[in-house]
Structure 1
Amino acid sequence: MTDSTPAPDPGPVGETRSSWRDLPLDQQAAAWETAVPGSAERMLRQIEADYEHRRWMDRVEVRFRIFGAVVAGTGITGVFWLTKYLVDHDAPGFAAGVFGASIAAFAGLVLRRDRPGQ
C-alpha cells in the first residue's frame, strides 16, 4: 500500500548572514543597466546598506546579551543574599521557599525551548 500524499514542506530556509547571495549576476546587472540607467548602482548601494544594517543589528544583539547577563548575575546574587539574610534571621523555611522558587524561575528562563534561532 503506497501513500499518495505529498511529503510535508520543510518550511522556509533560515536567513543566511552572507550578502553574497544578494549580488546579481553580471548578465543581470548589464540587463538592468540597459533597461534603466543607474539601476545597477542603486541596487549595489542597497545591498551595501543592508549589509551595514545587519552588522549594526549584530552589535546591538551583543549589547543586549551582555546587559541580560549582567541583570541575571545581579538577580542571582540578590537571591543568594536574601536567602542568607533569611537564614541568619531564623526563617530557614521561608529562605528555602524563596531560594527554590527563584531557582525554578531561573531554570525556566534558561531552559525554555521557544527561543528564536535555536
Structure 2
Amino acid sequence: MSEPTPSPALPSPAPGPEASPETRSSWRDLPVEQQIDSWETAVPGSAARMLRQVEADYEHRRWLDRVEVRFRMFGAVLGGTGIIGVFWLTKHLVDHDAPAFAAGVFGASVAAFAGLVLRSDRRRGQ
C-alpha cells in the first residue's frame, strides 16, 4: 500500500489592490513587518497612525483600570459606613428600650447587605 504524496503548499498572494477577496490572506497570517509595509503601501502614514491609536487605546485602558479601582474603594468605604450605621442604629434602639424594633432593623439590614454582596448577576472576570 502506497502512502499518498502530500500536495505542495501553494503560496498565498500578497494582499493588495490586485488580489481578489477570495484569494487574499488574513492580516493575522502576515508577520508584523509585512503588515506595516502593506499599510504604508496602501495609505502612506497609516502605520504611524495605527501605532498611535494602539498607544492611545493602551493609555485609555490604564485610565479605566484606575477608575475601577477608585470605584471599588468608594464602594468599600460606603458599604463599611452603612454597616457601622446599622450597628449604631441597632445599639441606639436597644439602649432606648426598643429591642424588637432593633432586631427587625438589624435583620432587614443584614438581609439587604447579603443580597447586595451575593447577587448572582455580577459580571465576574471582566
After TM superposition, is the score higher than 0.5? yes
State yes or no: 1:116 paired with 2:123.
yes
Report the Cα offset of residue 50 of structure 1. 0.2
- 1:1-80 → structure 2 map (5 Å cutoff): 25-80=32-87
Structure 2: distance between partners of 1:44 and 1:35: 16
Structure 1: distance between partners of 2:100 and 2:66: 44
Report the Cα offset of residue 117 of structure 1. 2.9
User: What RMSD in Å do the two structures reach over aligned CA positions?
Assistant: 1.5
Gaps of 5+ in 1: 1-20
- The TM-score normalised by the length of structure 1 is 0.78
Q: Which amino acid aligns with 1:53?
A: H
Q: Which residue of 1 aligns with 2:111?
A: 104
Q: Out of 98, 105, 113, which is 1:91 matched to?
A: 98
Q: Deviations over 1:35-80 (max 9, x none)?
A: 1110000000000000000000000000000001110011000000
Structure 1: distance between partners of 2:124 and 2:56: 23
Q: Deviations over 1:66-105 (max 9, x none)?
A: 0011100110000000000000111000000000000000
Q: Which amino acid aligns with 1:76?
A: I
Report the Cα offset of residue 29 of structure 1. 1.1
Q: Which amino acid aligns with 1:110?
A: V
User: Aligned pairs, how many?
Assistant: 96
**Higher RCO (Cα < 8 Å, 6 or more apart):** 1
Q: Which residue of 1 aligns with 2:6?
A: none
Q: Out of 88, 99, 109, which is 1:81 matched to?
A: 88
Larger radius of gyration: 2
